[in-house]
Chain A
Amino acid sequence: MLELKNICKIYNPGSVNEMTLFDDFNLTVPDKQFVAVVGSNGSGKTSMLNVICGSILADRGEVIVNGNNINSQRDFERQRIIGRVYQDPSKGTCPSMNILENMSIADNKGKPFGLTRGVNKHQINRYKEMLSQLGLGLEDKLYTQVGSLSGGQRQALALLMSTMTPIQFLILDEHTAALDPKTADIIMELTEKVVREKELTTIMVTHNLRYAVEYGDRLIMMHQGKAIVDKDGADKKNINTEEIMKIFNEISVECGN
């Protein structure tokens, strides 16, 4: 279970650009829940993920995982139990290394990176099988440099790599935003499959309202650092895209954009 308690975050305090993003923000995500988060730019979606992952530190408040306060853990320590896929497909993979090497790195997450062979030849068949489940033909490109793959292929690989080892949370940071609509659909399908198969506790930030409505067990709409819509269970199932779109337009008009 993941809890954010009384999170406060002020950007540029004391200057003319002072901006209070979070003022006493609270969120609780129970185990195995798939949360979709929507909201306009600057509403605090990505900042929330960054606070969870430790990429930015909150001014006040607690980040609690399974009852333990992880405020004092640094970003790389927290990410041992978190898998994260970024908007930019190049962030989840190493462009100058090949697919096999990238998967070997991901497969070793949580273990020491010592002086044993980087690529374990016995695992190649397992990797090929995982890749073939993506349905993108990557299983025949094990020795291709990841930098020469398309954005969609790289994002699929990044998703696979972030979930290869047992993790407690999956953080998806607008992971379909940089892809064309068709590829985005494929990646979203894959995401759903992986999340359900591995029963991962997932927080997905997206700009695509349709995905937020279609996928996930819970929908949160953020606005000015607050969750103005938070529906789960049956309420979530009954939401339709038009309804969400209407609320979204209302808050956008309020902001004047």
Chain B
Amino acid sequence: MALLISVLEQGLIYGIMALGMYITYKILDFPDMTVDGCFPFGVVLAVVMIRAGVPPIMTLPICFFAGCFIGTLTGLINVVFKVRDLLAGIIMMTALYSVNLRIAGRANLPMYDYYNIFDNNLLNSLFEGPLSFLAGFQTVIVLLIITVVVKLVLDWYMSTKSGFMLRAVGDNDVLVTSMGINKGKVRIMGLAIANGLVALSGSIYAQQQGYFDVSMGTGTAVVGLASVIIGTSLLKKISFFKITTSVVIGSIIYKACVAIAIKCGLQSTDLKLITAVLFLIILIVTMDRKKKVKG
């Protein structure tokens, strides 16, 4: 049971990050490595802010907008300076490593003794009082609410005119130009929203884990891509699910696979190896490694 809860928690947190990667990878066709730096960027911002006394709930929107700023920079490097997508991400990822260290001041920064979005007076009194039958599910319920809200907002955005342009730019950017819209701006906006979601996910992860570690981000992009590919490939036949739901479920399935691998005797130090091997297996099974054919 504890394992199941842990899988759900991790899956939901990484699910928000995967929603961001869904925008870059699936919609914009942009393999965005910024994520490896942007996720711990969200973590370190949240930890530093909470240690400084900022209300935990406020760290979420702040981290989202900070992530949007990071995504905008990646977009500018790619669109204005015409640096290839993969390289633009790697440049940002490398730079963010040092930025994160500078914000934290050291490689490891704990915040175990502070209240956060999962552990505060309001929630504790609710779960000790009227909701006491749900004790033990506190974190997962809060996460579920946050993830569903993020998903619904993203779904709403995708149905607006601005969202239509974002979908169109990945699909057929000639049409975006025909509409008199600067396709570069739309791409930058997509990257901004995506990295906003990634940093938001990082800020939630910080509060669930209770610390920042500089190496936290390594492999985040791979986890995100794996989740997106599982979600969009395995669940594509079930039209009942919206694509955003599929991506979050993909993330949970991915985390479950990792948990099973560790349960089968692998060490937690093997985590990155498991991540890489799982991703490879998923790519082979789903055949997604073929460049997507534009109809």
Query: A: which residues have CB within 8 A of B?
Result: 74-77, 79-80, 83-84, 86, 90-97, 101, 104-106, 108-110, 112-119, 147-148, 162
Contacts and interface: CB of A to CB of B under 8 A. Distances in A.
B274 to A, nearest CB: 33
B159 to A, nearest CB: 5
B164 A97 contact: yes
Chain A, interface SS category: loop
A202 B159 CA distance: 34
A147 B295 contact: yes
Nearest to A113: B161
Contacts of A75: 177
Pairs A-B, 3 closest by C-beta atoms = A80-B180, A147-B295, A95-B295
A210 B179 CA distance: 31
Contacts of B168: 94, 97, 105
Given A91-B172, A96-B171, A148-B295, 13 more contacts: A76-B176, A79-B178, A80-B180, A90-B294, A90-B295, A92-B175, A94-B171, A95-B294, A110-B180, A113-B164, A114-B162, A119-B159, A162-B178
A88 B182 CA distance: 21
B175 A105 contact: yes
Interface of B: 157, 159-165, 167-168, 171-172, 174-183, 294-295
Nearest to B161: A113
B222 to A, nearest CB: 25
A105 B164 contact: yes
B192 to A, nearest CB: 15
Contacts of B295: 90, 95-96, 147-148
Contacts of B157: 115
Nearest to B182: A76
A95 B171 contact: yes
B164 A77 contact: no
Contacts of B159: 117-119
A29 B67 CA distance: 50
A106 B179 contact: yes
A252 B167 CA distance: 44
Nearest to A82: B178
Contacts of A106: 179
B158 to A, nearest CB: 8
Contacts of A94: 167-168, 171-172, 175
Contacts of B181: 76, 113
Contacts of A118: 159-161, 163-164
B187 to A, nearest CB: 13
Contacts of A148: 295
Contacts of A114: 160-162
Contacts of A110: 180
A116 B156 CA distance: 10
Contacts of A83: 178
B164 A79 contact: no
B180 to A, nearest CB: 4
A63 B171 CA distance: 30
B185 to A, nearest CB: 9
Contact of B167 (A92, A93, A97, A147): A97
A92 B177 CA distance: 10
21 contacts: A76-B177, A76-B183, A84-B178, A90-B172, A90-B295, A93-B172, A94-B172, A95-B294, A97-B164, A97-B167, A97-B168, A101-B164, A105-B165, A109-B178, A113-B164, A114-B162, A115-B157, A115-B160, A117-B159, A117-B160, A117-B161
B180 A77 contact: yes
A104 B164 CA distance: 9
Contacts of A115: 157, 160-162
Contact of B171 (A74, A97, A104, A108): A97
Contacts of B175: 91-94, 105
A83 B175 CA distance: 10
Contacts of B171: 94-97
A109 B175 CA distance: 11
Contacts of A108: 161, 179
A91 B295 CA distance: 10
Nearest to A119: B159
Contacts of B165: 105, 113
Nearest to A94: B171
A115 B159 CA distance: 9
